[in-house]
Structure 1
Amino acid sequence: MAVFSVILGWAAHALVFLLFLGFIAFLGYCLYIKHTHMKYDHIPGPPRESFLFGHLAVFLRASRNDEVVHDTFLKWVQTYGSVYRINVLHNVLLFVTSPEGTKEILMSPKYPKDKLFYSRIFNLFGQRFLGNGLVTAQDHEQWYKQRRIMDPAFSSLYLRGLMGTFNERAEKLMAQLTDVADNKTEVHMLHLVNYVTLDVIAKVAFGVDLDQLKNTSVFPKAIETCLKGMVYYARDSFFELNPKNRPFINEVREACRLLRTTGAQWINDRKTAMQNGDDVPKDILTQIIKSAGKEESMTKEDEELMLDNFVTFFIAGQETTANQLAFCIMELARHPDILEKAKKEVDDVIGMKQEISNEDLGKLIYLSQVLKETLRIYPTAPGTSRDVLEDMVIDGIHIPARVTCFFSSYATGRLEQFFKDPLKFDPDRFHPDAPKPYYCYFPFALGPRSCLGQTFAQMEAKVVMAKLLQRFHFTLLPGQSFDIQDTGTLRPKSGVLCYVRHRNHKN
């Protein structure tokens, strides 16, 4: 008993000591947060809801209530100005809408991607997701090596050679819409354009035909699950701690595994075919493998990076373009005058021919304006962030070093100071003779880290929209919402429910 009492005494002393150390550590952390506040509180910003958690509750409420957090960011811009501060625990995020600040930071390679956010999407809940791919790589040399490998696959010459596939896959959508128009049934346009963009990226980038899976494919659901998981994982530090979230977390992990396992299989199959001297498609995957093979050495990490980029291109090449198309259809259906003007241009340029050429795309100037205006109001990838590692001044405000700056194309696209009557859908803002937006319109980011696939995406969107306008009328079902759903990317919450009917070309 005496020995037991001594052991209990030691345990009690140890517990007290550990509690004391925990208290000292917590006190030290609070002092560090106070130091951070003092360092950055000269920058305007909304009042913190909590000393410890800062504005974290704002993000949690937005996620849990299915709100668009970017609307809150926009409101704060209008209240606190072109540079304002947000606090989350010991981290500080500066929200920047200043054109000069945007130009200075985004156009320079010396400001790396935001370490906090982009390291969070390296994996999702312990499962590797985007890894160190082209979007997430923070080290400039690592990013530059990947970009050099990828560039040939996105050259203008190569992309022009993809027009046949763009046409072919878009024709499959037109066939589905023909059935819908014949049967006079309503259609969920977001679902349909998701299928066509999935078909395009699979065929054009990876030489895989998914058409037979268009009604049962697990990929759209996997992509949606990953993106939803990304929002929770990046914005809610406590999401994993809630046992009720465990089933969803397992779904996210399984979706990540599905995408990466599929990518590994497709890459290995292509490599084997190339090594055996088989005929292989001259698609983006072949270009990437051939270019990568020219590197002096290929490490295991280089192989893993190829897989990271498979997931990156698979998601970015499908999700964002589909959302842009759905928003575009929604806005055209809401504005009959703009819709008729776009149809007239398509009729004048393309007429009744089925195969759209690259030269035709260049002549569809008004349709380009429509697509640009869609991305102004609905940037499907709503922002980007950079780490500022040295002191600087933005709009007269001193910015101490080692802070993250967030640039929101959603907010800048909806600010009156940049776009008159910003919520009005007006493609003439992008008329060739109109003044060019000055570092306030960047749906594909800006500078060296801008989106590599933006030309690819806009060619695809133009082909799909041109064929749709050429052949069909579409009207929105009454009563549906025009709200936005924030799933990391932005999409129309209603799904854009339409009635579709054949066009009468006599008029």
Structure 2
Amino acid sequence: MALWHLLLNWASTLLLLLLSLLFVAFLGFCAYIKYKHMKYDHIPGPPRDSFFFGHSPTFFKIMEGDGIVYEKFLEWSETYGPVYRINLLHYVILGVSCPDATKEILMSSKYTKDEFIANRLSNLFGQRFLGNGLVTARDHEQWYKQRRIMDPAFSSLYLRGLMGTFNERAEKLMEKLSDEADNKGNVKMLPLVNCVTLDVIAKAAFGVDLDLLNTSSPFPKAIETCLKGMVYSIRDAFFQFNLKNRPFIKEVREACRLLRRTGAQWIHDRKTAIQNGDDVPKDILTQIIKTAGKEENTTKEDEEFMLDNFVAFFIAGQETTANLIAFCIMSLGRHPDILERVKKEVDDVIGMKMDLSYDDLGKLTYLTQVLKETLRIYPTAPGTSRDIIKDMVINGIRIPGGCIALFSSYASGRMDKFFKDPLTFDPERFHPDAPKPYYCYYPFALGPRACLGKNFAQMEAKVVMAKLLQRFDFTLIPGQTFDLVDTGSLRPKSGVLCSIRHRKHSQ
């Protein structure tokens, strides 16, 4: 009995000690938050929703209402100026729309990807996602080694060789649309272009035929699940601790494993084929493997990085390009005069040719303007961020080191201080003779960490849009919404419902 009382006393003492330690830790954390407030509260910004959570409740409310968080960034940029403060627990994030600061930070390699976002993208709910690849690597030497391996596969010379794949996969979409036009049907364009862009990535990068327009695949669902998981992981620090979210978290982990397992198999098969001297496709994967083979001190970790970059390219290359094409179709459908002008250019440049050449793409200057204007209003990758380690000054405001700088191309692209009548769709803003936007337009980011697949995406979008404009007339179905959905990237909520008809070309 005495022993039992002794054990109870020990347990009570330990519990009291643990609770005391937790209370002291909580008070210490609160003191740290207060210190952060005092350090950065001279910077303008919206009132915090709470001392502890900062502006988190505002973001929760937006997400629960299927809103666009970037609209809030636009509102705050216009209200509080070119640099404003956001508080999330002990994190301080600065929304930056000052062009000079944008230039200084994004164009320099000394400002690394911010640690918070990098960690959240590296692993999704404990499952490796983008790992430590090009998107998330914070160490410059580690990033630069990967970039050195990847760059040759995305050179303009190498991309020219992918025109056959772009044409072939786009032609599959044209066949599908032709069937719909024969049946005088209505088409939801976003799912179709999603299939095409994923087909292009699989074929051009990895030599795999998915043919998603005619066969089913788990990849589109897995990509969508990963993107949703990414959004919740970044914007809701407590999402994984809510028991009701466990089924979804399990889905996210399984989707990550599917993509990484598939990538590992494709990479292994290609390496084996190369080692055996087999004929292999002259695609991006072959180029990357051969370039990596020339590197000194290649490690097992480098192979894992290759897999990280496979997942990043597979997701980002498919999702953002599909959304760009869908937004472009939506914008042209809403502006018949611009649609007719871009059709005329396509007719003049490619006529009735089935396959476009690389040189043809360079002559489609007005289509290029249309795509650039689409990305200004609807940037499919609407923001990027960097760590600010050392003190600096932005627009005359002292910025202490130890915070995150957030750059929203969505907010900058819709501000009338940078673009007159910003919600008006006007491709003339990007006429070759028009003044270039000064560090307020960056749909592919800027500087050394700019999107590696920028030219790939633009070429693919041009090929698909040129063939569509060459072959079909399309009009938007009345009554659909032109609202956006935030899935990490931005996509049209309606899916872009169109009536498709064959074009009647004059002889």
- TM-score bracket for this pair, using the shorter chain length: over 0.9
Match of 1:129 in 2: 129
Match of 2:224 in 1: 224
**8 A Cα contact 1:124 1:252, kept in partner:** yes
- 2: CA distance between counterparts of 1:27 and 1:255? 39
Match of 1:502 in 2: 502
**8 A Cα contact 2:199 2:212, kept in partner:** no
- 2: CA distance between counterparts of 1:266 and 1:80? 49
Match of 2:194 in 1: 194
Match of 1:150 in 2: 150
Match of 1:490 in 2: 490
Match of 2:350 in 1: 350
Paired-residue identity, % = 74
Match of 1:247 in 2: 247
Q: Which runs of 5+ in 1 are unaligned?
A: none
Report runs of 4+ in structure 1 exceeding 3 Å deviation.
212-215
Match of 2:272 in 1: 272
Task: Give the Å deviation of 1:212.
Answer: 6.0
Which aligned pairs between 1:80-479 and structure 2 lie closer than 5 A?
A: 80-211=80-211, 214-479=214-479
Distance 1:79 1:5, change over 3 A: same
Task: Give the Å deviation of 1:375.
Answer: 0.3
**8 A Cα contact 1:326 1:496, kept in partner:** yes
- 2: CA distance between counterparts of 1:34 and 1:150? 44
- DSSP 3-state at the match of 2:407: strand
Task: Give the Å deviation of 1:11.
Answer: 1.8
- 2: CA distance between counterparts of 1:417 and 1:305? 41
Task: Give the Å deviation of 1:6.
Answer: 2.2
User: In the TM superposition, what whole-angstrom CA distance separates every residue of 1:108-154 from its partner, at most 9, and x where no partner exists?
Assistant: 00000011111111011111101111111111101000000001101
AA in 1 matched with 2:33 = I
- 2: CA distance between counterparts of 1:133 and 1:255? 18
User: In the TM superposition, what whole-angstrom CA distance separates every residue of 1:261-284 from its partner, at most 9, and x where no partner exists?
Assistant: 100010000000000000001100
Task: Give the Å deviation of 1:18.
Answer: 1.6
- DSSP 3-state at the match of 2:390: coil
User: In the TM superposition, what whole-angstrom CA distance separates every residue of 1:61-95 from its partner, at most 9, and x where no partner exists?
Assistant: 22222111000111011110000000001110001
- 2: CA distance between counterparts of 1:183 and 1:379? 34
**8 A Cα contact 2:97 2:412, kept in partner:** yes
More deviation, 295-304/210-219: 210-219
User: In the TM superposition, what whole-angstrom CA distance separates every residue of 1:355-386 from its partner, at most 9, and x where no partner exists?
Assistant: 11111111100000000000000100001000
AA in 2 matched with 1:443 = P
Q: TM-score, normalised by structure 2?
A: 0.99
What is the number of residues matched between the two proteins? 507
Q: TM-score, normalised by structure 1?
A: 0.99
AA in 2 matched with 1:156 = S
**8 A Cα contact 1:409 1:441, kept in partner:** yes
**8 A Cα contact 1:107 1:446, kept in partner:** yes
Task: Give the Å deviation of 1:442.
Answer: 0.2
AA in 2 matched with 1:211 = D
AA in 1 matched with 2:114 = D
AA in 1 matched with 2:439 = Y
- 1: CA distance between counterparts of 2:94 and 2:202? 38
Q: Which runs of 5+ in 2 are unaligned?
A: none
Distance 1:354 1:339, change over 3 A: same
- 2: CA distance between counterparts of 1:14 and 1:160? 69
- 1: CA distance between counterparts of 2:106 and 2:29? 32
- 1: CA distance between counterparts of 2:391 and 2:212? 55
**8 A Cα contact 1:184 1:500, kept in partner:** yes
User: In the TM superposition, what whole-angstrom CA distance separates every residue of 1:157-194 from its partner, at most 9, and x where no partner exists?
Assistant: 11111111111111000000000000111111000100
User: In the TM superposition, what whole-angstrom CA distance separates every residue of 1:282-310 from its partner, at most 9, and x where no partner exists?
Assistant: 10000000000011122111010000010
- DSSP 3-state at the match of 1:355: coil
Distance 1:214 1:318, change over 3 A: farther
- 1: CA distance between counterparts of 2:359 and 2:258? 39
- 1: CA distance between counterparts of 2:62 and 2:92? 19
Match of 1:27 in 2: 27
- DSSP 3-state at the match of 1:211: coil
- 2: CA distance between counterparts of 1:63 and 1:117? 18
- DSSP 3-state at the match of 2:257: helix
- DSSP 3-state at the match of 1:121: helix
- 1: CA distance between counterparts of 2:207 and 2:150? 17
AA in 1 matched with 2:192 = L
AA in 1 matched with 2:412 = T
AA in 2 matched with 1:71 = E
- 1: CA distance between counterparts of 2:361 and 2:21? 67
Distance 1:433 1:248, change over 3 A: same
Match of 2:39 in 1: 39
More deviation, 285-294/156-165: 156-165
- 2: CA distance between counterparts of 1:490 and 1:325? 12
- DSSP 3-state at the match of 2:111: coil
**8 A Cα contact 1:195 1:214, kept in partner:** no
- DSSP 3-state at the match of 2:393: strand
User: In the TM superposition, what whole-angstrom CA distance separates every residue of 1:220-259 from its partner, at most 9, and x where no partner exists?
Assistant: 1110110001001111111111111111111111111110
- DSSP 3-state at the match of 2:486: strand
- 2: CA distance between counterparts of 1:170 and 1:18? 63
- 1: CA distance between counterparts of 2:238 and 2:249? 13
**8 A Cα contact 1:444 1:454, kept in partner:** yes
- DSSP 3-state at the match of 1:85: strand
- 1: CA distance between counterparts of 2:24 and 2:402? 26
- DSSP 3-state at the match of 1:354: coil
User: In the TM superposition, what whole-angstrom CA distance separates every residue of 1:8-57 from its partner, at most 9, and x where no partner exists?
Assistant: 22222222222111111111111111000000000000000010110111
- DSSP 3-state at the match of 1:405: strand
Task: Give the Å deviation of 1:213.
Answer: 6.7
